[in-house]
Amino acid sequence: MTEPTLSSTESPQSGFWKRILICIVIGFSSGLPLFVFLNLIPAWADAYHLNIKTIGLLTLLQLPYVFKPLWAPFLDFFQFRQFGRRRTWLVILPLLLVIALGTLGTLHPDIQLTLISGLGILISFLSASLDIVIDAYRREILPDRELGLGNTVYVNAYKLAGLVPGGLALILADQLPWDLVFLIVALFMLPCTLLAIFVHEPELRQAPPRTLVGAFIEPLQEFFSRKGVKAGVALIVFIFLYKLGDALATSLATKFYLDMGYTKTQIGSVAKVAVLWGGLIGGFVGGFAMLKLSINRAIWIFGFAQMAVIPLFAWLSMQTGQSLIALGSVVGTEAFAVGLGTAAFVAFIAKSTNPAYTAFQLALLSTLASLPRTVVSSYAGYMIDFMGGYTNFFWLCTLLAIPGMLMLPWVAPWYEKKVLQD
């Protein structure tokens, strides 16, 4: 496998901690725009009295995440020489997101929905582009021996970002106007730009594709020649299905909590904090467990845990009154299990790529992983309405988690032979 090279003045130990710090900053910056769509925009729309179907359809604003592979190779070739192909975009894209997110908060969902949709698509495009660059940059700076820990740190920082639009912003929204809330959230993107100014461009021993056409074709050829066509297709289907049930169950979580009678402050201070810490602890437990478990076995064990906690939402939907203990317990337990599953899932996807074709292959596989959240979840409001409420909907989500688990013997066999790496 391709290993990143160290600077001649950089010791292995200092280089390790530097890479961990980078993973924290870029993970936070990658997650923040997505959590704006998942947590802040639904609460914002609810404040303007949009119905649940419309709020559900707003998840379609995330559609550019689905098409990341279409422009991922372009990000490999267009750059400012003084920064390099990764740092160029790590400087520019966060700045554009600050402007776009700040502008979004000045609009009014009840009378400017078309304009909001257009700006939302632009924000998704910028965020998806930043994800492409960050995923490639992370894969290129981390040696193979640091992939597990580095990805765990990245994922947890990604989740930590959810505390801003899903926690801090909701609390501030009870005290401040929405335009100021969105601006405060947007400014949290600036550390990524500041980081990119000072870090070095990663150096690879193996040269990437030399032409734009090659950047599109060579990654696909390499993937299917390495995996085989049947195994490659099976892997693609599995990546789509693995998180389908959980992604659908949590797609309208903020709206669900509001409909259960919880205030925005309660949601921000209890539910979102429980999601944060449950996910962080689950991610670290999963990451350290994979020092003993193989990635394949981890994706089995953690996947079953991830599926088993979805019915807790069905139980919560049947409760009367607003119990903060019940809310925090259910949300925290679900987040812990999903943290386990995500740690294994991200490592599994990274293991399935070749570092020479990082941008395209990771864009393709991460896009497949995001399809349940961006496409299927857009119809969650209609499903809830059709099924007569949240309880039946959450049981459906549990059933939809089963097909992915049934594919595990083929895509991630339990008794896979161990391959030693340098």
Domain map (residue ranges) of the chain: 12-411
pTM: 0.70
pLDDT reported for residue 381: 80
| Distance in angstroms (rounded) separating the CA atoms of residues 25 and 130 | 13
What tens-digit pLDDT sequence spans the chain (422 residues)? 444 444 444 545 568 788 889 999 999 999 899 898 888 888 888 888 777 777 777 777 777 877 888 888 888 767 666 677 788 889 999 999 999 999 988 988 888 888 988 898 899 999 999 998 898 888 788 776 676 678 888 888 887 888 898 888 888 988 899 999 999 999 999 999 999 888 887 776 666 666 777 777 888 888 888 888 888 888 888 988 888 888 888 888 888 888 888 887 888 778 877 887 888 888 888 877 877 777 888 889 999 999 999 999 999 888 877 788 888 888 889 889 988 888 888 888 877 887 677 778 888 888 788 777 667 777 788 888 888 888 999 999 999 999 989 999 888 888 866 543 43
Exposure b/e, 338-349, CB count within 10 A at least 16 = b: bbbbbbbbbbbb
> What is the CB neighbour count within 10 angstroms for residue 319?
12
Which DSSP category does 270 fall into?
A: I
* Contact (Cβ atoms closer than 8 angstroms) between residue 35 and residue 161: yes
| Distance in angstroms (rounded) separating the CA atoms of residues 162 and 277 | 11
For 337, half-sphere exposure in the C-beta direction (CA atoms, 13 angstrom radius) is 20
- CA geometry: angle 166, 250, 363, nearest 5 deg: 85
pLDDT tens-digit readout, 196-211: 888 887 776 666 666 7
Query: Three-state SS for 177?
Result: coil
Concatenating the DSSP letter of every residue in 385-413 gives: HHTTSHHHHHHHHHHHTHHHHHTHHHHS-
Question: Residue 228: left if φ>0, alpha if ψ -120 to 50, beta else—which one?
Answer: left
Q: What is 12-411's CATH number?
A: 1.20.1250.20
pLDDT reported for residue 373: 67
Concatenating the DSSP letter of every residue in 26-83 gives: HHHHHHHHHHIIIIIHHHHHHHTT--HHHHHHGGGGGGGGGGHHHHTTHHHH---TTT
Tokens of 27: 């993970």
Query: Three-state SS for 297?
Result: helix
| Distance in angstroms (rounded) separating the CA atoms of residues 400 and 404 | 8
pLDDT reported for residue 215: 74
- CA geometry: angle 195, 201, 207, nearest 5 deg: 150
pLDDT reported for residue 420: 38
> What is the CB neighbour count within 10 angstroms for residue 57?
18
The DSSP bridge partners found for residue 204 are 4
> What is the CB neighbour count within 10 angstroms for residue 382?
13
